């Protein structure tokens, strides 16, 4: 009997430009930030996306993330390589000179249940200058939201779990 491929599994990808991780474990911001350390870096920019407690008038109790992990990790790796090598080709219009100086990137995305107040994604980028690091960090976030095969489900206070809403990244 054939079984279907596992989805929403932990996955990681090491690249010369950095690393990408999908995990069910809580995200350690300090550890992830440390992965982009470099003596040539004058800046390290970190984005931490956390589960907020409300959305459009509803009280959010938790989020749940699912992914087609084998494809999502490759997509995230491609986005990181694009940010480092030629981010100017995106619709976000990040000038090449801003992205070419990126030293290291680290992207961690949580899977499974993420309680209110906990990080669901951490992106760390190091660069000799802050402008490049900020630009690359934003580019990586927006491209992951647009392209990665990751979905979230919001659970609301006072509503049955069957009423939780699946939301595709956009």
Name residue, tokens 């992951």. Answer: 144
What range does the domain containing 64 cover? 1-11+18-89+102-120
3-class secondary structure for the chain? CCCCCCCCCCEEEEECCEEEEEECCCCCHHHHHHCCCCCCCCEEEEEEEECCCEECCEEEEEEEEEECHHHHHHHHHHHHHHHHHHHHHCCCCCCHHHHCCCCEEEEEEECEEEECCCEEEEEEEEECCHHHHHHHHHHHHHHHHHHCCEEEEEEECCCCHHHCEEEECC
- Asked whether residue 150 is assigned to any structural domain, the reply reads no
Question: What string of pLDDT tens digits covers the 170 residues of the chain?
Answer: 555 557 899 999 999 999 999 999 999 999 999 999 999 899 999 999 999 999 989 999 999 999 999 999 999 999 999 999 854 334 444 554 444 589 999 999 999 999 999 999 999 999 999 999 999 999 999 999 999 999 999 999 988 877 787 876 65
Name residue, tokens 């350390």. Answer: 37
Domains identified in the chain, total number? 1
- Asked whether residue 27 is assigned to any structural domain, the reply reads yes
- Asked whether residue 48 is assigned to any structural domain, the reply reads yes
- Asked whether residue 160 is assigned to any structural domain, the reply reads no
The predicted model scores a pTM of 0.87
Identify the CATH number of the domain in which residue 64 sits.
3.90.1170.40
- Asked whether residue 169 is assigned to any structural domain, the reply reads no
- Asked whether residue 126 is assigned to any structural domain, the reply reads no
- Asked whether residue 130 is assigned to any structural domain, the reply reads no
- Asked whether residue 129 is assigned to any structural domain, the reply reads no
């Amino acid at each position: 009997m054939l079984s279907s491929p596992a989805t929403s599994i932990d996955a990681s990808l090491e690249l010369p430009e950095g690393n990408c991780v999908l995990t069910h474990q809580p995200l350690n911001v300090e550890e992830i930030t440390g992965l982009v350390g470099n003596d040539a870096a004058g800046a390290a920019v970190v984005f931490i996306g956390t589960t907020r407690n409300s959305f459009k008038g509803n009280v959010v109790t938790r989020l749940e993330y699912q992914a087609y992990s084998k494809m999502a990790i490759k997509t995230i790796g491609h986005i990181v390589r694009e940010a480092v090598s030629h981010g100017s080709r995106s619709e976000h219009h990040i000038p090449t000179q801003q992205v070419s100086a990126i030293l290291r990137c680290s992207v961690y995305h949580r899977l499974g249940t993420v309680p209110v107040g906990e990080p669901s994604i951490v992106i760390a980028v190091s660069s000799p200058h802050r402008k490049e690091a900020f630009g690359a960090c934003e580019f990586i976030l927006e491209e992951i939201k647009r392209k990665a095969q990751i979905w979230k489900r919001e659970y609301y206070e006072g509503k049955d779990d069957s009423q939780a809403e699946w939301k595709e990244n956009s």
